[in-house]
Every structure is written in C-alpha cells, then in structure tokens.
Structure 1
Amino acid sequence: MAGKRVFGRVRKLPSGRYQARYPGPDGVDRPAPRTFGTKREADDWLAEKQTELRRGDWSDPDAGKAAFGDFARAWIAERGLSHRTVELYESLLRLHLAPTFGTVAVADVTPAGVRAWRAARLAEGVGPSTVAKAYALMRAVFATAVEDRLIRRNPCQIKGGSKESTPERPIATVGEVFAVADAVQEWYRALVLLAAFLGLRWGELVALRRRDVDLDGGAVRVRQAVAELRNGQRIHKQPKSDAGVRTVGLPEVIAADLRRHLERFAEPGPDGRVFVGAKGTTPRRNHFNRLWHAACARAGVSGLRFHDLRHTGNTLAASTGASTKELMARMGHSTARAALIYQHATAERERLIAQSVSDLVTRARTSGGRPLPAPDGHGTGTPG
C-alpha cells in the first residue's frame, strides 16, 4: 500500500489527466505548469520540485513574466551608470532590442529567439559593432535576471556574440601631428600636441584647468572630464574609469608650445580653463571636428580622427620600453584585474617615460617624420 503523500497533492481531472499542486516557499499554493497523463508522472514531477526546494534552486514561476523592455529599462536605471552610458544603452534598447523583445516576458526569451534576432539584425545591414553592443547589453540584463532567480539560464548563448570587430585605426606620424597642429587654429595647436604626445582624451583635454598644468615639474594632472550628451548638455565628471585620474609626464619637446598657449589663450587664475573656443566657451566636439577635418585637409593628412592621436601617444609610450602597468597608468586604462587599476607608475619613472617620448619626437622631426616604430614587433599596437 502506497504511503501517505508528504509533499504536494495530485488530483484527477474530468479529462482523465492529472494535475499536481505544491506549496511554494512563499506560502502560495502553485500548480504545475502542465497536466500529466498518469498519476506516476505527476508524482515524479512533485518529487523533482521538492528536491529543488531542498537544494534552494526553486524560482518563482511567475517572476519571469515581466516584459523584457520594462525589466531592461529598470536595469539601466538601477546601475548607477554615467550619463553617456545611459544614453548608449537606452538607444540600443529602443532601436535594436525593444522592437523584437520589448513586450516578451523575460522567461519566454529563448536562445533560438536570440539567435534569430541577431541574424536578422545583421541581415538588415545593422553594423556588426552595433549588433555586438546590443547583444552584450541583452546578455548583461539576462545575467541579472538569472541572479534574481527570475530565470534559470541566460538565453544569450552565442559564442563571441558580444565581440566587437573594429578596423585598425591609423597611427599619425610625428610629422603628421605637427603638420596638423600647424594647420589648425592657433588656440587649438597645444590641444592637438597634448592629445598626441600625452594621449589625453578629448573630454579630459577640455576639462583641464591651469592648476592641472605643472610646467616646472613637467606634468599634467587629469582630474575630471567633460561629457557631451546628445541633447547638447555638457557634464563635468570623473574620467571614464578610476585609473583615468592620473598625472602624466609632459614631454619637454612640447613644453614651450604649452607655455605659449597658457600665456596667450588660457583663462587666468588657477581655475581658469586651459582650452577655450573662439567665443570664450568650452569647445564643443562637433564644432572642433569641422576645424579638425579642415586642418587635416590643409596638412595633406587623410582618414585621421582626433581620437587617433591617442593611438599615436600609446605607440610612442610603448616604444620607450615602458611596462604594461606604466602604460596603463599613463594612458588611464583599466582592466578586469582590479588590482592593476590602483597600481600607478612612480613619479620618477613617469618623468623618464616623458623624456623618452620627447627624445623620440625630436629624432622623428629631424629625420623627416618616418613612421613610428611598433612595440615588440607586433604591429602598431592597440588604440586607447
């Protein structure tokens, strides 16, 4: 004779099939998601459910019913992300994810559905880099859904789906850098040189104040950055990572250019802005880009973006023999290895790197601007 049931209950329906119910850990009496052809099948299902509960693997079957679009928007809002990142994620969600998954329950998104979505996006001509960014966002959102026990498994299972393949960017030679610096408006000459030979980002450059520049000590302190939003709003913030707050050695070869700039164009006082536009305001990237392209055309340099100057700075610094940690400190890089974020080069070593960069620039200018050497013979290095 069968023993008395100790977990859940089974009843026979008028159709002849069997329904199983069990008490959830939240006190709610829950039915199985399907009926069973035999009582034994219903009993076996209850046994599996009881094992889940004992192991702590149970998840609320109703929890994953939230629409993906709503869950993703809440995910973005709760992350404490920078304004620029929020803009990017909201755009990816609105344009690439919500049209397909916006109203679909989180628990109903399947690996097959994700694969079909990705294939369709690529077939429609969406750039591979954009698709990779959208996929990475979706995978991160579902990872949180797994952590919250809304679903058991992340449906984003495409190997390499979030890997962005970007074309190799050019490295400006020293001669090209000075040619563009000579061709651009004179109040932007020092900005071009600092971007190339210190490797500073646009937002870091336009955020510089006089007190950040130590000409006697040969150093520039990066403390903040200016971010431009799509609506035109500008926000002063910390650099893009903790490693972005740093002191960068100033190559002696461009110290005189920076000194002249401070004397002629920078605002007065320790809090005065180092770089201001023609109308006395913080330069805007879109306006500067027009001047940049015109200067490149006058200098006979094609296909070079302003951010590519940072690549030049990376390559120059790497060719001095600086260690990985020293390069990370100089360029403001961060990695998944949290310990490396806080390992900064010593002030003396940073001064030596700056002097080595200065010597390289001087030699390149006197030798006709031949292409820069690639570090370790492995090509041109990695853009910052």
Structure 2
Amino acid sequence: MLDRLVLAHLGAVPLAKLKPIVVANWVGALTDQVSASQVRQAYRLLSQIMTSAVDNDMIPVSPCRRIRLPRLPESHPEILTVAQVNQLAARCELGDHVLILLLAYGGLRIGEALPLRRRHLDVDGGTVLIAEAVTELPGGPVIDTPKDHHRRELPVPAFVVSLVSRLLATLPDDPEAFLFPGRQAHTTHRQQSYHGFRRRFTAAAAAADGLSDVTPHDLRATHATWVADSHGVMVAAHRLGHANASVTTRHYARAVDGRDAEVAKHLDKLGTEPAPRSGTQRARRPRKGSP
C-alpha cells in the first residue's frame, strides 16, 4: 500500500512541502481510482508516517488534518441460518468444509483463517489462536499480525474441533504446517490463495438453495449476528476482535427476524392493562361567555 498508493503519488514531495492541500488533492485523486476503504487505509498510513515525522522534529505539524475522506458504503451482509451454513458446508470437501465452519462458528476474517498453522490450534482445549493474517497484494501474499495487531484466543464449538482434528490427520506433523495449504504440489508449503477458495465457495453457494449471492465475508457477519442475539453485542465484538462494539453493529451484526414480535409478547407478560378511572366525572362549568 505504501508503494502503490502513497509513494507513487507523494514520494517525490519534500516533507516540508507536504501541506494539507496537497494531501487533500491526493485523497481526491485516489478516490477516483480505488475503493473508499483503500483510500482511508492509505490516508491512515500516511497520517502515521507524518505523526512519526512530527515526533522526530522533522516537521512542526502533520499535514494530515481536517481532510475530508470518502464515506464507506453501507454494508448489507447476508445473514445465514444454521441450516443454510450446513447446506453450504455440505457441498464442499473436508478442507473447505472446515474453513466455512470456522468462518461461521468462529467469526474469523478470511485473512485470519487462511494462514492458520497446526501450532495455532489447541484441539484439547477447543481453541484457535488468531495470531497472523494474510493480505493479498499485487506482488504476492504477505503474512503479518492481525488487523490492529490484536491477537485473540477463540473457543470454537466441539463439533468444529472434531472436524479440525480430522483435517489435521491429513496434514504433515509439523507445527508450521498450514491448516489450509496451497492446492498445487509446489504451493503446499504456503497457505492457499483466497481467490482459489472464493471460486470453490461461489460454486458451492450457487449449488445451494437461495445462497447464490452469499460471500465468505457474510459468514463473519452471520457469526456476529448469532452471538449478538444470544450473548450481546459486547461478546460479539470481542470474538470478532473489535475494540469498539460500534464497528460490530455498523458493519456486521444485524437484528434477527421475528425478534420484534417476541419483544412484544415479553412486554405483554410484564404489563397489565390499566383499569379505567371509576366513578362519574363531574361536568366542567362552562366559562363565562362560552356557549
């Protein structure tokens, strides 16, 4: 991102001449070329660099201030039922089957699931350690720490752990072995690509009833919705690795259909119909001059 979006446009500009208007023009140019999400990520990276320059007395103040950034589009994820997730997973072979269940029942980002290694899985404890994430870049995949550098240990359902054990039995007995290795002979030493999984996922979704528009990212939103509905938004945010629960509600968790009717029934049990006032009310005297 530094090479492609920042240095390609601003690399030749001296620090002292990097003014807010230059940054604003750069943001405007990027907005016409890439997604709003990438523009915001690139701006955040530049802002971090400029803050470092200020801290090291290279410039007196950061030029990244009061810059209008493009708005992120509203996300409307498809929330699946348990039966739909099972239907989707059933159309996949073991590796993709396990990956789909980890996304739906663990809430992992796809970039966190693909680089999982044997050492990240505690079968006896029933947990997955989220310690790495892969990013697909033009020069190839890069494995680094998860988003916001937030490691987390994630308990997963026992039936998912059982399937993970079956998958591990087919892989090398090496702590560094990938749970989802590349499919070709010369790529088994690295994680499989997202694009390959996405093609197989799309084919499985198209074969399932009513799931043709579902994406892998919808499974993370599905997990957030299930957990928020049963255990609250704060628990869902923790499982998804969000420091702020507002991110969970804004982009992932959605209200489960039918809950409004259940709320009305619950309130009906709590309340009682107030009795009307007994007795006959005295008629008011008309004011002077009124008919």
- Report 1 or 2 for greater relative contact order, CA contacts < 8 Å, sequence distance ≥ 6: 2
- Please give the alpha-carbon distance, in whole angstroms, between the structure 2 residues aligned to 1:136 and 1:309: 27
- Please give the alpha-carbon distance, in whole angstroms, between the structure 2 residues aligned to 1:136 and 1:197: 31
Instruction: Give yes or no for contact 2:107–2:223 (8 Å, CA) kept in 1.
Output: yes
Instruction: Give yes or no for contact 2:129–2:151 (8 Å, CA) kept in 1.
Output: no
> 1:323-377, CA deviations, whole angstroms, 9 ceiling, x for partnerless residues?
62x4454333346xxxxxxxxxxxxxxxxxxxxxxxxxxxxxxxxxxx9728x98
**1:155 correspondence with 2:68:** no
Letter in 1 for 2:86: F
Runs of 4+ in 1 over 6 A off after TM superposition: none
Given candidates 127, 130, 139, the residue that maps to 2:47 is 139
The equivalent residue for 2:151 is 244
> 1:238-290, CA deviations, whole angstroms, 9 ceiling, x for partnerless residues?
444553242x2222454444444445x44446665433454462322222121
Give runs of aligned pairs for residues 159-238 of structure 1, distance below 5 A: 161-162=68-69, 164-174=71-81, 175-210=83-118, 212-226=120-134, 228-232=136-140, 235=143, 237-238=144-145
- CA gap of 1:276–1:155, structure 2 versus 1, over 3 A, is closer
Given candidates 36, 49, 59, the residue that maps to 1:128 is 36
- Please give the alpha-carbon distance, in whole angstroms, between the structure 2 residues aligned to 1:239 and 1:307: 16
Instruction: Give yes or no for contact 1:195–1:205 (8 Å, CA) kept in 2.
Output: yes
Flag structure 1 segments of 5+ consecutive residues without an equivalent: 1-87, 336-370, 378-384
Measure how far apart 1:134 and its partner are.
Answer: 3.5
- Please give the alpha-carbon distance, in whole angstroms, between the structure 1 residues aligned to 2:128 and 2:218: 20
Task: Give the total of aligned pairs.
Answer: 244
**1:92 correspondence with 2:2:** no
- Please give the alpha-carbon distance, in whole angstroms, between the structure 2 residues aligned to 1:308 and 1:168: 10
Flag structure 2 segments of 5+ consecutive residues without an equivalent: 245-253, 261-291
Kindly name which structure, 1 or 2, has the bigger radius of gyration based on alpha carbons: 1
> 1:201-221, CA deviations, whole angstroms, 9 ceiling, x for partnerless residues?
334333434454444543333
The equivalent residue for 1:310 is 220
- CA gap of 1:228–1:311, structure 2 versus 1, over 3 A, is same
TM-score w.r.t. length of structure 1:
0.52
Instruction: Give yes or no for contact 1:199–1:309 (8 Å, CA) kept in 2.
Output: yes
Measure how far apart 1:233 and its partner are.
Answer: 5.1
Q: What is the root-mean-square deviation in Å for CA atoms of aligned residues?
A: 3.5
Given candidates 200, 203, 223, the residue that maps to 1:291 is 200
- Please give the alpha-carbon distance, in whole angstroms, between the structure 1 residues aligned to 2:36 and 2:119: 43
Measure how far apart 1:141 and its partner are.
Answer: 3.3
> 1:10-41, CA deviations, whole angstroms, 9 ceiling, x for partnerless residues?
xxxxxxxxxxxxxxxxxxxxxxxxxxxxxxxx
The equivalent residue for 2:248 is none
- CA gap of 1:187–1:157, structure 2 versus 1, over 3 A, is closer
Letter in 2 for 1:251: P
**1:373 correspondence with 2:283:** no
Instruction: Give yes or no for contact 2:50–2:63 (8 Å, CA) kept in 1.
Output: yes
Letter in 1 for 2:196: H
- Please give the alpha-carbon distance, in whole angstroms, between the structure 2 residues aligned to 1:120 and 1:241: 26
Give runs of aligned pairs for residues 356-371 of structure 1, distance below 5 A: none
The equivalent residue for 2:274 is none
Measure how far apart 1:140 and its partner are.
Answer: 3.3
